Amino acid sequence: MPRIVVFLCLLVLSIFATAQKQEGLALTPPMGWNSWNTFACDIDETLIKETADALVDSGMRDAGYIYLNLDDCWHGERDENGFIHPDPERFPSGMKALADYVHSKGLKFGIYSDAGDETCAGRPGSNGYEFQDALQYARWGVDYLKYDWCKTENLSAPGAYRTMRDALSRVGRPVVLSICEWGDNDPWLWGEEMGHLWRTTGDIINCWDCEVDHGTWSSWGILRILDMQEGLRKYAGPGHWNDPDMMEVGNGMSESEDRAHFSLWAMLSAPLIAGNDVRNMSKTTREILTNKDVIAINQDALGVQGFKYKEDLDRGLEYWFKPLANKEWAMLVLNRSDEDQKIRFEFKKEDVIDPDFADQGYGFNANFSRARYDIYDVWEKKELGTTRRTLKTTVKAHDVVMYRLTKITEEKPH
User: Any idea where the domains of the chain sit in the sequence?
Assistant: 8-14+25-298, 307-410
**Rounded mean pLDDT of the chain?**
94
The verdict on domain 307-410 having CATH code 2.60.40.1180 is: yes
pLDDT at 19: 76
Nearest in space to 30 (alpha carbons), one of 189, 246, 209, 200? 246
The DSSP secondary-structure symbol of 147 reads E
Averaged over 348-370, what is the pLDDT? 89
pLDDT at 94: 98
- Report the residue count for the chain: 414
Residue 227: pLDDT over 80: yes
The b-or-e profile of 362-385 (16+ CB within 10 A means b, else e) is ebbbbbbeebbbbbbebbeeeebe
Q: What digits encode the pLDDT tens for the residues 56-96?
A: 999 999 999 999 999 999 999 999 999 999 999 999 999 99
Contacts of 143 (CB under 8 A, 6+ apart): 67, 108, 109, 110, 173, 174, 175, 176
The DSSP secondary-structure symbol of 384 reads E
In the chain, the percentage of residues whose pLDDT exceeds 90 is 91
pLDDT at 411: 59
CATH class belonging to 8-14+25-298: alpha beta
Q: What digits encode the pLDDT tens for the residues 11-34?
A: 444 444 457 899 999 999 999 999
Tell me, yes or no, if the pTM score tops 0.85: yes
pLDDT at 18: 56
Q: What digits encode the pLDDT tens for the residues 360-398?
A: 776 799 999 999 999 999 999 999 999 999 999 999 999
Contact indicator for 102, 68 with CB cutoff of 8 Å? yes
Instruction: Classify burial at 172, counting beta carbons within 10 Å of its beta carbon; exposed 0-12, middle 13-18, buried 19 or more.
Output: exposed
Averaged over 98-110, what is the pLDDT? 98
The b-or-e profile of 258-278 (16+ CB within 10 A means b, else e) is bbbbbbbbbbbbbbbbbbbbb
Averaged over 221-231, what is the pLDDT? 98
Contact indicator for 345, 373 with CB cutoff of 8 Å? no
Residue 141's alpha-carbon distances to 38, 104, 105, 173, in angstroms, are: 25, 12, 14, 8
Q: Residue 198 is inside which H or E element, if any?
A: strand 197-199
CA torsion 388-394-399-403 (nearest 10°) is -20
CA angle 177, 144, 269 (to 5 degrees): 65
Nearest in space to 350 (alpha carbons), one of 387, 306, 307? 387
State the distance between the two ends of the chain, measured CA to CA, in whole angstroms. Answer: 81
Contact indicator for 291, 262 with CB cutoff of 8 Å? yes
**pLDDT band at residue 6, thresholds of 50, 70 and 90?**
very low
Residue 152's alpha-carbon distances to 125, 149, 168, in angstroms, are: 10, 6, 20
Phi, psi of 281 (to 5 degrees): -75, 155
**pLDDT band at residue 9, thresholds of 50, 70 and 90?**
low
Residue 213's CB: how many other CB atoms inside 10 A?
A: 8
Residue 1: pLDDT over 70: no
The b-or-e profile of 216-244 (16+ CB within 10 A means b, else e) is eeebbbbbbbbebbeebbebbbbbbbbbb
**pLDDT band at residue 142, thresholds of 50, 70 and 90?**
very high
Strand partners, 196: none
Contact indicator for 69, 146 with CB cutoff of 8 Å? yes
pLDDT at 173: 96
From CA 26, how far away is CA 33, in angstroms rounded? 15
pLDDT at 360: 79
- Catalytic residue annotation: 148, 203
From CA 309, how far away is CA 322, in angstroms rounded? 10
